[in-house]
Chains A and B, each alone.
Chain A
Amino acid sequence: MRPGFSPRGGRGGFGDRGGRGGFGDRGRGGRGGFGDRGRGGFRGRGGGSFRSPDGGGFRGRGGGRGGPRGRGGARGGFGAGRKVVVEPHRHEGVFICRGKEDALVTKNMVVGDSVYGEKRISVEEADVKTEYRAWNPFRSKLAAAILGGVDQIHIKPGSKVMYLGAASGTTVSHVSDIVGPEGLVYAVEFSHRSGRDLLNVAKKRTNIIPIIEDARHPHKYRMLVGMVDVIFADVAQPDQTRIVALNAHNFLKNGGHFVISIKANCIDSTAAPEAVFASEVKKMSSENMKPQEQLTLEPYERDHAVVVGIYRPPPKLKK
């Protein structure tokens, strides 16, 4: 019931603590003179007449508040020792962790390591211990798109992904988890400061190839990259469509897909976001990139959209 207060469970006299729920908790916090907070020190609490005969009714309400706090701030879903269930997501390589709260997770390729301080969840099933890392949709556009219900991300285990705008490698690490040891992630980042962090991430994960170059000049890193299946772009530049197109012409296979995250403010801060998205989609179509779906990243980001499409679609066979 209320795990933190199991000794109390039997004693009805403490139901009043629940009854005076709000006040009680504040009082408990305010007056530090309660030595034994978890259990009994309410006798000493001043103000007398709190004896409520209807302990049971109040108990439920108080318990909810008292429980977690009594544990000293156990986090929402995944406190130490909480039982959770991990089930696969519709997208291959992505999982959902179901507990008190649900979270999007990916399977950790480097067990025991946390890339940017995110939570790790260990699950044991049939003697196999697997570790998963929580994926924060507020920090990662791809996670926000998945949670937003994008139809296809095209990034699956074993695929080769080119990631433009890798920054410090937080989302790149999750993409690396998804593609697994068979796949490859080419992470392109121009900033030196972020590049250092990216290199550190790439040291641990051997399926990430770090490229510290300007994505506007793909010929500068042509010797490092083979043909890729998917291009993911999160560059936040006004000419990002052109950048993606250049890279696609050089490295994206025929029938390959692209996933572009568009920040309306970045392209044109004066125009309406919908207009910006529409103009970007038009630019894409002229470069032989056919957009297939578009979705906004509410509630995780404001005025952001993700466009998924196919490059050089194979011609439809006419029957």
Chain B
Amino acid sequence: MHNGHIHLATSVKLVHLTNTTLFEDNVLDESKLEQVDSLYKEFETPEKANKILKLKHFEKFQDTTEALAAATALTEGKIGKSLKKVLKKFVATEAHEQLAISDAKLGGVIKEKMELSCVHNSAVAELMRCIRGQMESLITGLPAKELSAMSLGLAHSLSRYKLKFSPDKVDTMIVQAICLLDDLDKELNNYVMRCREWYGWHFPELGKVVTDNMAYCKSVRKIGDRTNVAGSDLSDILPEEVEAEVKLAAEISMGTEVSEQDIGNIRHLCDQVIDITEYRTQLYDYLKNRMMAIAPNLTVMVGELVGARLISHAGSLLNLAKHPASTVQILGAEKALFRALKTRKDTPKYGLIYHASLVGQTSAKNKGKISRMLAAKAALAIRYDALGEDTNAEMGVENRAKLEVRLRHLEEKGIRRISGTGKAMAMADKYQHKSEVRVYDPSGDSTIPSTSKKRKFEEVEQAEEPVTPKVKSKKAKKQPVKEEEEEEAAAPEEMPKKKKKKRKVEEEPEEAKTEEEEVAVTESTKKKKKKKKTKDEEDE
């Protein structure tokens, strides 16, 4: 590609920065320049143009990368390396000569750095137009086709540079990595189960003693045949007491004998398991790095694993950004959601977001609230990551801090008033010790009449007794019966009879008591609460 410098020798030098070509004007009538409007007439034909301007220097770029670098420097208003070279070499720094330039900002920079005085005004602009119009003829050896082809190439590379096709912003890596992680886990589990079962034929006790999968595989690999246990040192794989147990179990093991080949195969399997486990940890690190590069805000808010699962569930980061916060909250619980919607029950409160650390550390009651709050802020973070221009995690960190403050407030909810002005502390009533000492009323104990009422009954009894011993008032009858009962408390034969009577008897004092109580209540002040009354009645 080409940049063009045009400079007029007499008093004005023109730098036409579209192509690196340097023109020199030998004969210029200054008056012509002043008549800006009619300048174009001078450039109407190639011959006329050539009379006024002469090509001084044409600097070609070596390849598109150089051209791209120069072009980007120009767009930003800086002096590229090649431009600097050309200017130094070919533009003589004479005091009265000026460089005509079409970008005023660039002119200022050139003046600073290279001490060349630059000029930019409407006359210059007009001149540039004319030159641009006659580009082909003024620059010899450059056909139009080549010109347009070069422009096309430069335009494409410039645009691509502008759009910043950077490979680490691709979120397909995340989706694939998380799927692979899940696959690895499943496979690992299968292999370990198989290993345990297989080796269990030979040495079943090892499986029961060593619970950790990695340790089991490592020890199997080291031991091989169980006869080697005594001689082998498992201290770097297992803790001491477990090792001792293993050695003990090896003596009294009830497993079968196996051949060398079988042990060899089992060993291979164990190797595989160990390799896959190591790879899994590597993959997890890779995933964490990628997540931090692609979606830093989301990572800060919910963690790498949950963030990656969310992205993979939605398909891509952009897709995830399109979901509203309520969807982000229940992503992953679709089965429960639609089941609840169909049967008109309560919808689930959390989906994949349940495994975020913020939700995990709250009490069960507040998990729903935190999940909603977290989903709201996470949705903002996702959109910022997917559609924002710069990639830093400030926003995520801020939001997380806010959430943690709110979480703390939720946990200590009881101290703060919920409604009204949230800032006011709830007024606690002054504690007054209302001691309820309920004194036992001994009047029900003895049958000896002590109250007026009972005396009344007895008077009635006494009155009635001499008249008709048979016609006794219920109560009179009962009382001597009661006495008898009390004396013969444990007589079994009279049990059913007594029971009946007892019941009646028991009812009696209750009735009497309640009558008393009622009287007492009515007599007492009205301040007695219903509760107390019912309580007393219940007690009775």
Pairs A–B under 8 Å by Cβ, sample size 16? A184-B148, A192-B162, A192-B163, A199-B163, A203-B156, A206-B152, A211-B158, A212-B163, A222-B103, A223-B1, A223-B71, A224-B151, A224-B154, A224-B158, A226-B151, A227-B132
How far apart sit A150 and B152, CA to CA, in the bound complex (Å)? 31
A184-B148, A209-B152, A226-B147 are known contacts. Are A253 and B159 too (CB-CB below 8 A)?
A: no
Pick from A202, A203, A220, A227: contact of B133, CB under 8 Å: A227
**Residue ID in chain B nearest A217 by CB atoms:** B75
**Residue ID in chain B nearest A254 by CB atoms:** B40
Pick from B102, B133, B155: contact of A224, CB under 8 Å: B155
B74 proximal to A (CB < 8 A): yes
B129 proximal to A (CB < 8 A): yes
A199 touches B156 (CB 8 A): yes
Query: How would residues 421 to 451 of chain B score, 1 for a CB under 8 Å from any chain A CB and 0 otherwise?
Result: 0000000000000000000000000000000
Query: Smallest CB–CB gap between B18 and chain A, Å?
Result: 5
Tell me the residues in window 157-189 of chain B with beta carbons closer than 8 Å to chain A beta carbons.
158-160, 162-163
Tell me the residues in window 88-130 of chain B with beta carbons closer than 8 Å to chain A beta carbons.
102-103, 125, 128-129
A positions within 8 Å CB-CB of B: 184, 192, 195-196, 199, 202-203, 206, 209-213, 219-227, 249-251, 253-254
A220-B75, A224-B151 are known contacts. Are A210 and B156 too (CB-CB below 8 A)?
A: yes
Tell me the residues in window 41-72 of chain B with beta carbons closer than 8 Å to chain A beta carbons.
71
How far apart sit A192 and B164, CA to CA, in the bound complex (Å)? 9
How far apart sit A20 and B427, CA to CA, in the bound complex (Å)? 81
What A residues does B154 contact at CB under 8 A? 223-224
B156 touches A202 (CB 8 A): yes
- In order of increasing CB-CB distance, the 8 nearest A-B pairs are A212-B162, A209-B155, A212-B159, A227-B133, A220-B75, A223-B18, A219-B103, A210-B159
What A residues does B476 contact at CB under 8 A? none
Query: Smallest CB–CB gap between B83 and chain A, Å?
Result: 11
How far apart sit A249 and B17, CA to CA, in the bound complex (Å)? 16
What B residues does A222 contact at CB under 8 A? 17-18, 102-103
A192-B163, A212-B162 are known contacts. Are A251 and B151 too (CB-CB below 8 A)?
A: no
B19 proximal to A (CB < 8 A): yes
How far apart sit A210 and B156, CA to CA, in the bound complex (Å)? 7
What B residues does A192 contact at CB under 8 A? 162-163
Query: Smallest CB–CB gap between B105 and chain A, Å?
Result: 9
Query: How would residues 180 to 214 of chain B score, 1 for a CB under 8 Å from any chain A CB and 0 otherwise?
Result: 00000000000000000000000000000000000
**Residue ID in chain B nearest A160 by CB atoms:** B148
Query: Smallest CB–CB gap between A245 and chain B, Å?
Result: 13
B129 touches A227 (CB 8 A): yes
How far apart sit A210 and B159, CA to CA, in the bound complex (Å)? 7
Query: Smallest CB–CB gap between B193 and chain A, Å?
Result: 48
B3 proximal to A (CB < 8 A): yes
Query: Smallest CB–CB gap between A157 and chain B, Å?
Result: 16
B238 proximal to A (CB < 8 A): no
What A residues does B18 contact at CB under 8 A? 222-223
Query: Smallest CB–CB gap between A225 and chain B, Å?
Result: 8
What A residues does B129 contact at CB under 8 A? 227, 249-250
**Residue ID in chain A nearest B148 by CB atoms:** A184
Pick from B3, B125, B163: contact of A196, CB under 8 Å: B163
A195 touches B162 (CB 8 A): yes
How far apart sit A154 and B169, CA to CA, in the bound complex (Å)? 43
Pick from B71, B103, B151, B160: contact of A199, CB under 8 Å: B160
